[in-house]
Amino acid sequence: MDGSTIIPVLIFACGLLAGFGIYAIVSSAPPVPVHAALYTENAPEPIGPYSQAVQCGDYLFISGQIGLDPATGNLSDTVDGEARQAMENLRAVLLEAGLDFADVVQARIYLTDLADFDTVNAVYAGYFNEPYPARATVQVAGLPKGARVEIEMIATVR
């Protein structure tokens, strides 16, 4: 081989090696997370166009649950009862995913009256052990079905 053919062969070989390197990087990229909806009959059916929960990658995003009894569709007469039923609804969704409250990393509580904070907080605290999830509690103008409490959560998937 003379000098005029070596350079094109080297360029071709370098391009081929670079192509294999790029292919190895691209083909080993993690897959894009798939969104999978989750439903259970042990929690109320959604009252709008949303899923009870959606798993995406290593997280389960649980839609806000109000204190609707899944069997009757009724709310409790008390804030304490609503909070307890909302937590039981959340437990049902977590169990459907093979999880429990220890897997929850974040929660949001919506109250129509912040005067109910201590009552709802006492119910909520009964479902968790330390380390507690991160949490926010806010007052809102209203909730579906006239509920006084709504709670949503994010959990890590095992």
Query: In this structure, which amino acid lies at residue 110?
Result: Y
Percent of the chain with pLDDT over 70: 79
pLDDT category of residue 49 using cuts at 50, 70 and 90: very high
Over residues 60-113, the pLDDT tens digits come to 999 999 999 999 999 999 999 999 999 999 999 999 999 999 999 999 999 999
Relative to beta strand 104-111, strand 59-66 is unpaired
pTM recorded for the entire structure: 0.81
Structure tokens belonging to residue 51: 């899923």
What separation in angstroms does the CA of 8 have from each of 18, 62, 80?
A: 15, 59, 79
pLDDT at 42: 97
Domain residue spans of the chain = 1-30, 35-156
Whole-number pLDDT of residue 7: 66
Task: Judge: domain 35-156, CATH 3.60.21.10.
Answer: no
CA proximity to 157, closest of 14, 32, 12, 38: 38
